[in-house]
């Protein structure tokens, strides 16, 4: 349950009357100063107070005190929040807005239920075998030319499938992951790797690269086969019960008494795990074991037999909100890439603003997501980097789709892939 002083949020509608805990004490810390407004992406787009952090807090506080009857308009304002938490970084009162929007969405879900497509999506990511089956069908659809045919005939225009088709990369057959990958050379430690749900069907190249990189650096990698989705999409949808089930499954998979770090590749998953302390049954030691892979790698010395090859190219870095505002560790990416000789590392302008690829947001609010992405694409087009890197899969898919639409052939990859590509056997080792 959400900690702190709470009251029951009135979420009645014509069909039902239910209640949800709302942290009123947290909401009361907001003094309505407005310093968050320039940092809120949806407020910047709309100039609507209802689409700002303080506006949404006021709506939730009014609904909690029963002074404003909740309706679908309030639900829409909460849905359009990206959950980027940029407001938290600038709030002089230290309001934990993430907890407030989560509580508000839980109340909305209890009152109005989940949309059918949202419910289906949550079922998919929670059941890996079902997700793999759907991915296999989509892969066959691509291989048989279905994507080309549907696009050429414009048969997807105006449908929900058009958005998915835009976001999906060319799918490959997923490998069968082993549970243990031994370290190369002298073992210096052991880590457990969290591979997520969607990444296992659309981004297994990054997973394979991370395993290889960790092995080369002297770490045995354990990939628990029973691990599941991190639950972040369930939390975003207001389904805390579903998130708690997935958390329990992951605690069992990774071992509640184990000590090795749990390394995450997608910053959204890492941020979700770090926020799990608000869920029932979340042990503190599990949360403390979770580490973003960039933070884990940054200060590691290379084994004496390895070195980083110079790379006289330019890479633009996109800061995912989950890494910047959730984990507060976006600088780890820059420090890691700075170790590559001759590489020019350029932060993407306006990195503090969300790209729109926030969890399920890019499917739930596609028009706003694309408007938020547009300035990012312009910045990338202006920089013309050799690579764009992003530490979160959803952001990478969203930005890749935008670049394809503009005819820009700029690869979007995970930072660890770039680091691994430049890792070579030392020339001194070869000479010896």
Question: Domain 7-112 adopts which CATH fold?
Answer: Fumarate Reductase Iron-sulfur Protein; Chain B, domain 2 (1.10.1060)
How far is it, in rounded angstroms, from Cα 124 to Cα 131? Answer: 5
Per-residue pLDDT, 154: 72
Q: Does domain 306-425 have CATH number 3.40.50.11810?
A: yes
List beta partners, residue 347: 317
Topology of domain 180-298, CATH: Rossmann fold (3.40.50)
pTM over cut 0.85: yes
Distance CA 53, CA 38 (A): 11
Query: Cβ neighbours of residue 172 under 8 Å, at least 6 residues apart?
Result: 139, 204, 205
Q: In the prediction, which pLDDT does 206 show?
A: 97
Residue 317 burial (10 A CB sphere; 0-12, 13-18, 19+): buried
pLDDT at 298: 93
pLDDT at residue 277, as a whole number: 61
Phi, psi (rounded to 5 degrees) for 120: -65, -40
Query: Could you tell me how far CA 400 lies from the centroid of its own chain?
Result: 15
Burial 131-152 (b: 16+ CB within 10 A, else e): beeebeebbebbeeeebeebee
Q: Could you give the CA distance from residue 38 to residue 320 in angstroms, rounded to a whole number?
A: 18
- Chunked into runs of 10 residues, the chain (432 residues) has average pLDDT values of 37 40 87 96 96 95 79 92 96 94 91 90 94 93 83 70 86 92 95 95 95 97 96 94 93 84 96 76 78 94 94 98 95 97 97 95 94 97 98 97 96 97 79 54
E-state strands within 139-248: 180-181, 189-194, 219-222
CA–CA dist 197, 322 (Å, integer): 17
| Res 259: pLDDT | 84
Q: What is the pLDDT of residue 12?
A: 43
Domain boundaries, the chain: 7-112, 116-167, 180-298, 306-425
180-298 and 306-425 agree in CATH topology? yes
Residue 346 has what pLDDT? 97
Distance from C-alpha of 87 to C-alpha of 34, rounded to nearest angstrom: 10
The DSSP bridge pattern shows strands 262-264 and 290-292 to be: parallel
């Amino acid at each position: 349950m959400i900690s702190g002083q709470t009251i029951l949020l009135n979420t009645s509608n014509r069909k039902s009357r239910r209640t949800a805990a709302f942290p009123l004490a947290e909401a009361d810390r907001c003094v309505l100063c407005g310093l968050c407004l320039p940092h809120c992406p949806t407020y910047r787009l709309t100039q609507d107070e209802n689409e700002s952090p303080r506006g949404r807090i006021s709506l939730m506080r009014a609904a909690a005190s029963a002074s404003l009857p909740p309706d679908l308009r309030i639900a829409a304002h909460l849905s359009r929040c990206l959950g980027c938490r940029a407001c938290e970084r600038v709030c002089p009162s230290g309001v934990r807005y993430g907890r407030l929007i989560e509580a508000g969405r839980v109340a909305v879900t209890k009152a109005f239920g989940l949309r059918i497509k949202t419910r289906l999506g949550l079922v998919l990511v929670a059941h890996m075998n079902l997700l793999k089956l759907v991915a296999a069908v989509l892969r066959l659809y691509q291989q048989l030319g279905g994507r080309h045919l549907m696009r050429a005939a414009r048969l997807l225009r105006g449908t929900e499938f058009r958005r998915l088709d835009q976001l999906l990369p060319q799918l490959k057959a997923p490998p069968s992951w082993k549970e243990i990958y031994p370290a190369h050379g002298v073992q210096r430690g052991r880590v457990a790797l969290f591979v997520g749900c969607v990444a296992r069907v659309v981004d297994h190249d990054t997973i394979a690269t991370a395993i290889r990189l960790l092995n080369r650096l002297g770490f045995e990698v354990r990939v628990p086969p029973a691990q599941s989705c991190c639950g972040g999409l369930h939390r975003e949808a207001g389904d805390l019960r579903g998130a708690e089930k997935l958390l329990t499954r992951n605690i069992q998979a990774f071992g509640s008494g184990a000590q090795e770090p749990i390394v995450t590749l997608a910053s959204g998953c890492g941020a979700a795990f770090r926020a799990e302390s608000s869920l029932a049954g979340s042990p503190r030691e599990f949360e403390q074991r979770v580490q973003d892979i960039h933070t884990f790698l940054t200060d590691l010395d290379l084994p004496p037999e390895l070195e980083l090859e110079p790379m006289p190219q330019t890479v633009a870095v996109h800061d995912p909100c989950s890494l910047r505002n959730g984990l507060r560790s976006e600088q780890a990416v820059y420090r890691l890439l700075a170790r590559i000789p001759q590489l020019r590392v350029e932060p993407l302008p306006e990195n503090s603003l969300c790209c729109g690829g926030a969890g399920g947001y890019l499917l739930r609010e596609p028009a706003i997501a694309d408007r938020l992405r547009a300035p990012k694409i312009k910045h990338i087009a202006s920089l013309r980097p050799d690579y764009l890197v992003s530490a979160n899969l959803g952001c990478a898919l969203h930005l890749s789709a935008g670049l394809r639409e503009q005819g820009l052939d700029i690869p979007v990859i995970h930072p660890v892939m770039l680091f691994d590509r430049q890792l070579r056997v030392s020339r001194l080792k070869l000479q010896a």
